[in-house]
Amino acid sequence: MGKVWNVSSPAERQSFKSGPERAEGGYNPSRLRIKRRSRISIIYVLILVSCLTISGAAGQGASKPANTKPDYSKEAFVDEDDSTKIVFENDGTGTRETSVRIRIQSDAGVQRYGVLTFPYQSAAENVEIDYVRVQKPEGAVITTPPENIQDMAADITRQAPFYSDHREKQVAVKGLGVGDVLESRARWHVTKPLASGQFWFAFNFSHDFIMLHEEIQISVPRERVVKWKSRDPKPVITEEGSRRIFTWTNFQLEHKSSEQDKKDQQEKIHQAARGMLPPADVQISTFQSWEDVGAWYNGLQQERVKPSAEVRVKAADLTKNASDENAKLHAIYDYVSTQFRYIGVAFGIGRYQPHSAAEVLSNQYGDCKDKHTLLASLLDAAGITAYPALISTARDIDVDVPSPGQFDHVITAVPQGGGFTWLDTTPEVAPFAYLISPLRDKRALVIPVGKPATLVTTAADPPAPGLQTFRIEAKLSDTGTLDG
How many domains would you assign to the chain? 2
Instruction: Give the Å distances, CA to CA, from 317 to 325, 361, 376.
Output: 15, 14, 16
Contact yes or no for 56/65 (Cβ under 8 A): no
pLDDT at 20: 29
Do 270 and 305 sit in the same domain of this protein? no
Q: What range does the domain containing 280 cover?
A: 4-28+72-285
CB-based contact 107:3 (threshold 8 Å): no
Residues 6+ apart with CB under 8 A from 449: 298, 302, 385, 387
Pair 122, 203 in one domain: yes
Pair 312, 281 in one domain: no
Residue 148 and residue 24 in one domain: yes
Nearest to 322 by CA among 251, 384, 364, 403: 384
Alpha-carbon distance 155 to 166, whole Å?
9
pLDDT of residue 161: 65
Q: Output DSSP code: residue 393.
A: S
Q: Which helix (H) or strand (E) holds 265?
A: helix 258-274
Specify whether 258 is located in the same domain as 341: no
Residue 266: inside a domain, yes or no? yes
Helix (H) or strand (E) holding 110: helix 107-113
130 located within any domain: yes
Nearest to 308 by CA among 407, 210, 227, 374: 374
CATH number at residue 446: 3.10.620.30
**Gap between the Cα atoms of 129 and 184, Å rounded:** 8
Whether 272 and 309 map to the same domain: the answer is no
**What per-residue confidence (pLDDT) applies to 267?**
67
Strands (DSSP E) along 141-293, which ranges? 141-143, 149-153, 166-172, 181-190, 200-203, 211-221, 227-230, 236-240, 243-252, 282-285
**What is the chain's Cα-based Rg?**
27
Q: Per the domain annotation, does 33 fall within a domain?
A: no
Predicted confidence at residue 67, as pLDDT, reads 59
For residue 428, tell me if it sits in a domain. Answer: yes
- 477-478-480 Cα angle (round to 5): 65
Which CATH number is 97's domain given? 2.60.40.3140
pLDDT at 43: 33
CA-to-CA distance for 235 and 216, rounded, in angstroms? 9
User: Could you tell me if 273 and 370 lie in one domain?
Assistant: no
**Does an H or E element contain 108, and which?**
helix 107-113
Residue at a domain's end among 285, 314, 334? 285
Last residue of a domain, one of 261, 285, 309: 285
Provide block-wise average pLDDT over 10 residues at a time, the chain (484 residues). Answer: 46 40 32 33 35 38 56 94 97 97 97 96 92 97 96 78 80 97 98 92 91 97 97 94 97 79 68 74 97 96 96 97 96 96 68 91 93 98 98 92 94 95 93 94 95 96 85 92 92
End-to-end Cα, the chain, rounded Å: 62
**What's the pTM value of the predicted model, to 2 decimals?**
0.78
Pinpoint the alpha helices (H) of 286-356.
Answer: 290-301, 309-318, 325-339
Q: Residue 395 domain-assigned?
A: yes
Same domain, 216 and 329: no
* Cβ atoms of residues 357 and 377 within 8 Å: yes
Instruction: Indicate if 242 and 296 belong to the same structural domain.
Output: no
Q: What is the C-alpha separation between 213 and 35, in angstroms, rounded? A: 27
Give the span between the Cα atoms of 478 and 189, in whole angstroms: 75
- 247 plus 332 within the same structural domain: no
- Kindly state whether residue 177 falls inside one of the protein's structural domains: yes
Is residue 101 a part of any domain in this protein?
yes
Based on the fold, state whether residues 268 and 358 are members of the same structural domain.
Answer: no
Q: What is the pLDDT of residue 231?
A: 86
**Bridge partners (DSSP) listed for residue 414:** 421
Whether 151 is in a domain gets the answer yes
For residues 178 and 137, the answer to whether their CB atoms sit within 8 Å is no
- Mark whether 210 and 317 lie in a shared domain: no
Q: Which of 251, 266, 285 is the last residue of a domain?
A: 285
